[in-house]
Amino acid sequence: MYEYRKMTPAQRASILAGRKSLHRPWHAPPHFGQDRGTYLISAACYEHRPVMATDARRTHFETLLLDRLTSEADDNVNIHAWVILPNHYHLLIETDLRLFAKRVARLHNGTATQWNREDGTPSRKVWHRFSDRVIRSERHYYASLNYIHANPVKHGHATSAHDWPQSSFDLYVKMVGRNQLATWWKHYPIGDYGQGWDD
């Protein structure tokens, strides 16, 4: 999205023509999987603005996100991991993507309205949709899990994953222990995972 703004009109036309020929949305992330599966979900605040800059707002959003996605348990949503940062969040989730999209749209609309009221910015655009990546293997799953837990450190918000409260990291420490997390980190390194789409 940000590179697009720096392009010449000819470059923009070329990009849009390519997306159109592939039957993809012109200005939004495509959603390839529409069925039940395990996905890495990434959602960012519009233009990566730190709308969730305060600890209180992130904690409140974390509670809303986890409650809303699992409250209608008819489709057996299983949230495996999460992290909430000042300007985006990630989920590792097993769900039906169509139902997820409806629920997260309601959540995004509701929080945008609430935060704009609180911040005195009634017309501000808060969210820029979400992207999804189907988890394809055990390696992909654990690399995604490691990536989520390392995200606060990657973005300079914490010196250790343990220091970031709006994350599933501490839950994993309690469930599987630090030794198992260290083993996963060693066997499923993140390398350049997220390069280009999480900046």
pLDDT tens digits for range 117-127? 999 999 999 99
Token digits for 107? 């959540």
The C-alpha atoms of residue 127 and residue 161 are separated, in whole angstroms, by 25
Dihedral sign for Cα 76, 81, 86, 87, please: negative
Instruction: Give the residue-averaged pLDDT of 73-102.
Output: 90
Q: Up-side HSE of residue 99: CA atoms within 13 Å toward CB? A: 18
The C-alpha atoms of residue 61 and residue 80 are separated, in whole angstroms, by 17
The domain limits of the chain are 1-28, 31-187
pLDDT tens digits along 178-191: 999 999 999 999 98
Q: Collapsing DSSP states into helix, strand and coil, what is residue 152?
A: helix
- Predicted TM-score of the model (pTM): 0.82
Which secondary-structure segment (H or E) carries 138? helix 138-154
The C-alpha atoms of residue 169 and residue 166 are separated, in whole angstroms, by 9
Residue 149 has pLDDT above 80, yes or no: yes
Answer yes or no: CATH 3.10.450.50 is held by domain 31-187.
Answer: no
Q: To the nearest 10°, the Cα dihedral for 190, 194, 104, 176?
A: 10
